[in-house]
Structure 1
Amino acid sequence: MIRSSILSFFLALITISVSAQNNFYNQNNQVLMQDRYDKIDGTPYLLEDWGTAVLYPLKGESLRHAKINYNGTTGTFEIVEGDAYIELNAALYNKVELNYKGKTYTFVNRLKPDDVTYYMVLHEGKDYLFLEHFEADLRSQGANYGVSADQEKFVPVTNNYVWKDGTLHDINRNTKKIVSFFDSPALKKEVKNKKLNLKDDADLSAALSYYDQRQEKKN
């Protein structure tokens, strides 16, 4: 379970009351063409379908929206209102809780004050965040026989990071690399004994929760 301790370190305190003021979404946001990806293979979106979300703006009350997804090509969230697709201005929202099929994905930005890149929080420790960044790269598949232009496709790419002491550390999503980063013999033993695969989100959370408990006992 993601706690609020480290997130509150760099997120502004936000009122949790919810409002449904749809006109707010149209302020400083961009209306998009619905058919802009029709000729490209694959999808730029994180989710297969549209989810729901709570948006936390830098100022004002939190907002709910019933149709939302994350676009890995633009690095922004998109909502659907009627027939309109709207790209939300990332500078306005420093936290998004995206809900899809019973699972909640928490996104944060402004790890540094001027950085609006969104990262998904996979685990929150006392003094660190284990993060994932999703992108959808647009690549050429090469020209096919009888086709004059190259066909483009979206290719999903994920990168992982640990945010600690104000620094974003690149980390390979590899069990040995993660254990090495945290430099804990107890964690290494736990992962080995439980045969945890840290490429799996549930195993990662279990391992880091164990690490957190050990750190608390030390302190």
Structure 2
Amino acid sequence: MKNLLFLFIFLSSGAMAQYEILPFGDVIRTPIKEKKYTDVEGTPYLIDKWSKGKVTLINGKHYQYDSLKYNLMDDKLIFVDAGKMMYFAEPVAKFELMDSKSGNYLKYKNGLPAIDALSNTSYFQIINDNKAGLYKRINKSITESKQYGSAVVIKAFHTTSSYYSLKNGIFSKIVPNKKSILALFDDKENQFDEYLKNQKVDFKNDADLDKIFTYLNK
């Protein structure tokens, strides 16, 4: 009986160790086939090339990868294993993708409240994750157009961005401008005016928005 108990514990610990090494379950043996948009100009991905990145699964485990892509059309993260494209079997709570142009990591997470046509599994880019946070949602869709006098239909990926704020449990869509930001920090109008006098601010620049929210969250 003791030998059987020892064998059970040994096998159980071995299975757990294997899970640490291969955290993706059956998806390892179920590669996905990339959907080709051969007649569409552009790319369905946030970054077309494979990127280095970091992944946090919903169970709290962390992993690093050399080959990640975020498909904006499917709102899913994919990776490469043994030359094959895979989805994650365990839900991904957070991920970071390296932007080769800047060398910085673009940070994403889900779990935010459902809004518009988006659910709590939808991913948002983290611009500022403070008490009053700012998040960006990037969408891609396929548009069709014709040049003047031509019967040829041109299909292309169209990218749109929206900004959302989470404060006191309220998740709302905002326009990144002075008026909308002041509505979130209505008790800091004087400080904000002073900040804008001393800082050159581009409300269309995510780095500037991050600095504004960091300052106003103090």
> Equivalent residues in 2 for 1:56-205 (5 A)?
56-59=56-59, 61-88=61-88, 92-101=91-100, 102-112=103-113, 115-125=120-130, 127-142=131-146, 145=150, 147=152, 150-183=153-186, 184-185=188-189, 186-205=191-210
Paired residues of 1:122 and 1:132 also in contact (CA < 8 A): yes
Contact 1:107 1:120 in 2 (8 A): yes
Q: CA deviation at 1:94?
A: 0.9
5+ residue gaps in structure 1?
Answer: 1-18, 214-219
Letter of the 1:163 partner, please give it: L
Matched-pair contact (CA < 8 Å) for 2:27–2:87: no
State the number of aligned residues.
191
Shift in Å at residue 123 of structure 1?
A: 0.9
Stretch of structure 1 that moved more, 115-124 or 104-113:
104-113
Structure 1: 4+ residue segments shifted above 4 A:
none
Deviations 1:137-161 (A, max 9, x none): 11122488464xx332111111100
Structure with the bigger RCO (C-alpha within 8 Å, sep 6+) is 1
Partners of 2:25 and 2:162 lie apart in 1 by 29
CA contact (8 A) 1:34 1:84 kept: no
Unaligned runs of 5+ in 2: 1-18
Render the CA deviation track for 1:82-121: whole Å, top value 9, x for unaligned: 44222446x7111112223321122111124971000111
The alignment partner of 2:47 has SS state of coil
Instruction: Name the SS for the 2:44 alignment partner.
Output: coil
Cα distance between partner residues in 1 of 2:28 and 2:161: 28
Shift of 1:40: 1.0
Q: CA RMSD in A?
A: 2.9
Secondary structure at the aligned position of 1:192 is classed as helix
Find the residue that maps to 1:141 and give its secondary structure: strand
